[in-house]
């Protein structure tokens, strides 16, 4: 698949997910304010409900992966293209500039410098997933629910939706440790903890502005 085609399909999918969340923003704000569950659990529920409310052109294929929502779908751009949509939700109240991911949630190789050492850690997602002799392009989207504590309740402020580039686009987005989209994750990698990394929103937007969509909440207070 040509790289420009990969980017186009990713952009179409990101816009669909962002539109679903934008349409559901008022319900999301109400759920965050009224639910007593952990914010992370609420974020996962809201993401599923928003996608279900919009509806996607789904294929009857089972997908596996360490993300909150996995769907085999057709994307019409304009012809039908099979896509493995990997959707993950994050809820945080302290940092609206980055989002932390695990290596099981990307097909890119993370090239960066950690504590003075150059590393290149491959993601465990494939570029494609094959089902019934069809190759589904893997598209990974992370929705971050940024909230604040107000009068003892959780006030949803923004939903930041980002599309992590498929590993086929490695040379465009992270060709070397000096040229990338990543920041050090909150792990003790040198002590044997699982490697995690933070996607820097500004770094990604500097390379492709369309890959970050910010949904501000309407006044629901």
Q: What was the pLDDT predicted at 160? A: 98
Give the pTM.
Answer: 0.92
For the chain (221 residues), the mean pLDDT of every run of 10, in chain order, is 97 98 97 94 97 94 91 94 97 89 95 93 96 94 95 92 99 98 75 82 98 84 39
Omega before residue 213 within 30° of 0, cis: no
CATH homologous superfamily of 3-216: Restriction endonuclease BglI (3.40.600.20)
Q: What was the pLDDT predicted at 221? A: 39
Q: What was the pLDDT predicted at 133? A: 87
């Amino acid at each position: 698949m040509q790289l420009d085609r990969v980017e186009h399909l990713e952009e179409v999918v990101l816009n669909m997910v962002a539109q679903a969340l934008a349409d559901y923003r008022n319900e999301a704000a109400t759920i965050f304010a009224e639910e007593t569950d952990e914010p992370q659990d609420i974020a996962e529920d809201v993401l599923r409900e928003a996608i279900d409310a919009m509806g996607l052109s789904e294929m009857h294929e089972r997908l596996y992966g360490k993300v909150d929502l996995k769907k085999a779908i057709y994307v019409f751009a304009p012809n039908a293209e099979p896509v493995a949509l990997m959707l993950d939700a994050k809820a945080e109240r302290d940092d609206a500039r980055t989002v932390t991911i695990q290596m099981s949630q990307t097909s890119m190789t993370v090239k960066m410098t950690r504590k003075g050492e150059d590393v290149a850690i491959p993601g465990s997602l494939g570029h494609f997933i094959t089902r019934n002799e069809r190759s589904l392009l893997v598209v990974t989207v992370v929705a971050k629910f940024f909230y604040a504590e107000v009068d003892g309740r959780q006030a949803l402020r923004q939903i930041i939706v980002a599309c992590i580039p498929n590993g086929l686009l490695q040379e465009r987005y992270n060709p070397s440790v000096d040229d990338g989209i990543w920041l050090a994750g909150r792990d003790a990698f040198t002590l044997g903890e699982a490697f995690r990394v933070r996607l820097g929103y500004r770094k990604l937007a500097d390379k492709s502005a369309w890959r970050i969509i910010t949904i501000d909440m309407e006044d629901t207070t």
